[in-house]
Amino acid sequence: MFSFAGKGKNKSVAAVVPGDMGIAVAMLGPATGSGKPKLELCDFTPWQDDCSPQELLARKVRELSLSKRPCTTVMGLGEYSIISVDAPDVPPAELRAALRWQVKDLIDFHIDDALIDVFDAPPSGAHGQKKMLYVVVSRTSTVRERVEQMQAAEANLTTIDIPELVLRNITTRLPEDEGGVAMVYLARERGLVVVSRESTLYFARTLDIGYDYLTQGLADTDELSLENNAVFDRLVLEVQRSLDYYDRYFQQPPVSALVLAPTEISIPGLPAYLHDTLGLQVKLLDLAEIVECEQELSSQQQAHCLAAVGAALREEATTL
């Protein structure tokens, strides 16, 4: 999404993602004989009491030589908005100005304080529907703060991505993507549902539900069931709404599967419950399915580094 002038021509791509729990770093090299990119590094370092977040970030940049290779990072949920708009019928040189005019009344701050980027929205399927675009809007100060954070640590920042496209980078490499796939990603307090098909992001819904909510009151050995479903039905409802919208608005066949991203804390019974209530094939994501890993990654390690791996998988660099 938001692109910046980086330096160097290292073929390996690194993603550095500071989060609620610590700093995740992933490095990907060129595809191996399996056709998968090689995961050269998957590292997570928790925040520490003896140094500030900025000091720890600078330390990781030095340790991993991140000033010498292109780096991307990921914005946090709530730091931006995605707005669907009609593609303006203007010359390319006038597209930025036209989009800013279209979204100025759809955001809760002045357009002069906004930084925007754009990616194509798939056609709705309705006859006569105009071409649509997804516009990503963030406060300039929010993006600047992230840039300054990375630059102060001397990371070679080239792009800042958003979670929706990071997850799309992952789903597009799953075999289920050919027939349409939904992914549920849950952080501690928030989450995302994304739907992609044939490498195209069709739909994304932000959830005010995280794994803390879903695991409240559960012991390690508990499992959710049809008789014990009050907490879980809220997630089921949001997923079902997302799938219904995808089917109806885009006039696509139902998705072929639902994929659950690994979570930092296990949610007992979740895959089975979603399968039973939604009637879908449900599977837990294993990053080894899409990247070549020399060592087996634990579920918790994958959860910590999922956004970093997805960000490192980015290929396109469309920007306004």
If the chain, 320 residues long, is cut into consecutive pieces of 10 residues, what is the mean pLDDT of each piece? 59 86 93 86 93 95 92 94 92 90 93 92 72 93 95 95 96 94 94 95 93 76 58 92 93 93 90 92 95 90 96 65
Same domain assignment for residues 154 and 54:
yes
Same domain assignment for residues 267 and 184:
yes
- Given a contact cutoff of 8 angstroms between Cβ atoms, the answer to whether 205 and 281 are in contact is no
Same domain assignment for residues 207 and 89:
no
CATH no. for residue 278?
3.30.420.40
Same domain assignment for residues 264 and 183:
yes
| Strands 282-284 vs 257-260: parallel, antiparallel or unpaired | parallel
Say if 305 falls within a structural domain.
Answer: no
pLDDT value of residue 5: 56
Same domain assignment for residues 196 and 275:
yes
Same domain assignment for residues 277 and 182:
yes
Say if 122 falls within a structural domain.
Answer: yes
Cα–Cα distance, 170 to 186 (Å, whole number): 15
Token code pair at residue 1: 């999404």
CATH no. for residue 43?
3.30.420.10
pLDDT value of residue 222: 58
- Given a contact cutoff of 8 angstroms between Cβ atoms, the answer to whether 61 and 149 are in contact is no
Same domain assignment for residues 17 and 51:
yes
- Given a contact cutoff of 8 angstroms between Cβ atoms, the answer to whether 318 and 134 are in contact is no
Nearest to 64, CA basis, from 26, 22, 11: 26
pLDDT value of residue 312: 95
Say if 290 falls within a structural domain.
Answer: no
Same domain assignment for residues 135 and 151:
no
Q: Domain count of the chain? A: 3
Owning domain of residue 265? 175-284
